[in-house]
Amino acid sequence: MISPLITNFWFSVVGGSGIFYEMENPGSVSGPLDEGGLPAAIIAIAEQMPFAVIMPFLFLILAILFVITTADSMTYSISMSMTGEGNPPKFMRVFWASIMAVVAAILIFIGEGSIDALQSFIVVTAVPVALLITPSIWHAPKIAKELWREQNK
């Protein structure tokens, strides 16, 4: 319930403010966007909002919370699908979190070419991931039918 509210706040207030600031003062958001990319544009918007001193820090906290909850959800989903249990073991979640952290650290270390590296990484890992997913896709109708039978007893 909280996540959709925060997302709605982000897109409505921050996005709307960015559009407003750009319309009122052309170049105030697009200039930093052209020069420094999306992070610079977000900081430019935050600095023009009320409470400009603390707003960038609030955005940083929001971004960190987003990354943490996304990573937690991803590790939970991957671990659950790998073990088939509703409550996967902690070591499995820690393993997948470690893998994701290593990949993120490598991409950060690479720097400017990280998007190209990420695209190459996705292409290289697509085949093994497809092979891992294929059995679950193959068995999904059977599992759905069994769940339906259990729920309709």
Query: DSSP character for 10?
Result: I
Which residue carries 């270390």 as its tokens? 109
End-to-end CA distance of the chain: 32
Q: Fill in the DSSP letter of residue 112.
A: G
Nearest alpha-carbon partner for 108 in 120, 118, 98: 118
- From residue 53, give the alpha-carbon distance in Å to each of 27, 47, 49, 59: 21, 7, 9, 11
Q: Is 114 exposed, middle or buried (0-12, 13-18, 19+ CB in 10 A)?
A: middle
What confidence score (pLDDT) does residue 95 get? 92
**Mean local confidence (pLDDT), 31-37:** 89
Per-residue pLDDT of 36-60, as tens digits, reads: 888 888 888 888 888 888 888 888 8
Query: What whole-number distance in Å separates Cα of residue 98 and Cα of residue 103?
Result: 9
From residue 80, give the alpha-carbon distance in Å to each of 87, 97, 116: 7, 13, 30
pTM over 0.85: no
Q: Which residue has the higher pLDDT, 15 or 7?
A: 15
Between 89 and 120, whose confidence is greater?
Answer: 89
